[in-house]
Chain A
Amino acid sequence: MNQENSQEEKSFWEKLLSIDRRIIFLFIAAAIAVPLFFKVSMHIPATPVVQGVYDAIENLPPGSKVLASFDYDPGSMPELQPMAEAFFRHAFRKDLKVIIMGLWPQGPLQANMALEEVFKDEDIKAKNLQYGIDYVNLGFTAGNEVVIDRMGHSFEESYPKDGQGTPLSELPLMKGVRNYDNVDLIYNLSAGYPGTQEWVQYAVDVFHVKLAAGNTAVQAPAMYPYVQTGQLAGVLGGMKGGAEYETAIGKPGIAVRYMFSQAIAHAVICFFIIIGNLAFFSLKKKKRS
Chain B
Amino acid sequence: MRREVPLVLTAIVGLTMIIAHFIPPFNILKDLFEDWFFIIAAFAIYLGVLNLLRVNADKVYKKQRDWPFGVVVILGFLVITIPGLFFSGGRSFLDIGTPFYYLYIHVYYPLSATMFALLAFFVASASYRAFRARNVEATLLLVAAFVLMLGRVPIGDWITAWLPEGYRLGNAADWIMDFPQTAGQRAIMIGIALGLVSSALRVILGLERTYMGGD
Are any A and B Cβ atoms less than 8 Å apart in their complex? yes
Q: Chain B's nearest CB lies how many Å from the CB of A287?
A: 13
Taking a contact as CB atoms under 8 Å apart, the answer to whether A266 and B149 are in contact is yes
Taking a contact as CB atoms under 8 Å apart, the answer to whether A74 and B109 are in contact is yes
- Contact partners of B177 in chain A: CB under 8 A: 221
Taking a contact as CB atoms under 8 Å apart, the answer to whether B123 and A269 are in contact is yes
In whole angstroms, how far apart are the Cα atoms of A280 and B154 in the complex? 29
Interface positions of A from 243 to 289, Cβ below 8 Å from B: 259, 262-263, 265-270, 272-273, 276-277, 280-281
Taking a contact as CB atoms under 8 Å apart, the answer to whether A269 and B34 are in contact is no
Taking a contact as CB atoms under 8 Å apart, the answer to whether B91 and A266 are in contact is no
- Contact partners of B128 in chain A: CB under 8 A: 19, 21, 24, 269, 272-273, 276
**How many chain B residues touch A (Cβ–Cβ < 8 Å)?**
41
Q: Given A74-B112, A109-B101, are A270 and B150 neighbors across the interface (CB < 8 Å)?
A: yes
In whole angstroms, how far apart are the Cα atoms of A106 and B109 in the complex? 11
The answer, yes or no, to whether A108 is at the interface (CB within 8 Å) is yes
In whole angstroms, how far apart are the Cα atoms of A276 and B138 in the complex? 13
Taking a contact as CB atoms under 8 Å apart, the answer to whether B149 and A142 are in contact is no
Interface positions of A from 24 to 55, Cβ below 8 Å from B: 24-25, 27-29, 32, 42
Taking a contact as CB atoms under 8 Å apart, the answer to whether B92 and A163 are in contact is yes
Taking a contact as CB atoms under 8 Å apart, the answer to whether A164 and B92 are in contact is yes
Most buried by A among B105, B131, B134, B177: B131
The interface residues of chain A, by DSSP majority, are classed as helix
The interface residues of chain B, by DSSP majority, are classed as helix
- Contact partners of B140 in chain A: CB under 8 A: none
The answer, yes or no, to whether A75 is at the interface (CB within 8 Å) is yes
The answer, yes or no, to whether B146 is at the interface (CB within 8 Å) is yes
Taking a contact as CB atoms under 8 Å apart, the answer to whether A269 and B38 are in contact is no
Which of B101, B124, B132 is within 8 Å of A269, CB to CB?
B124
Q: Given A116-B96, A277-B132, are A272 and B31 neighbors across the interface (CB < 8 Å)?
A: no
Nearest A residue to B96, CB-CB: A112
Which of A28, A109, A277 is within 8 Å of B124, CB to CB?
A28
Interface positions of B from 129 to 157, Cβ below 8 Å from A: 129, 131-134, 142, 145-146, 149-150, 152-155
Taking a contact as CB atoms under 8 Å apart, the answer to whether B94 and A109 are in contact is yes
The answer, yes or no, to whether B104 is at the interface (CB within 8 Å) is yes
B93-111 vs A: 1/0 string, CB under 8 Å? Answer: 0111000010011001100
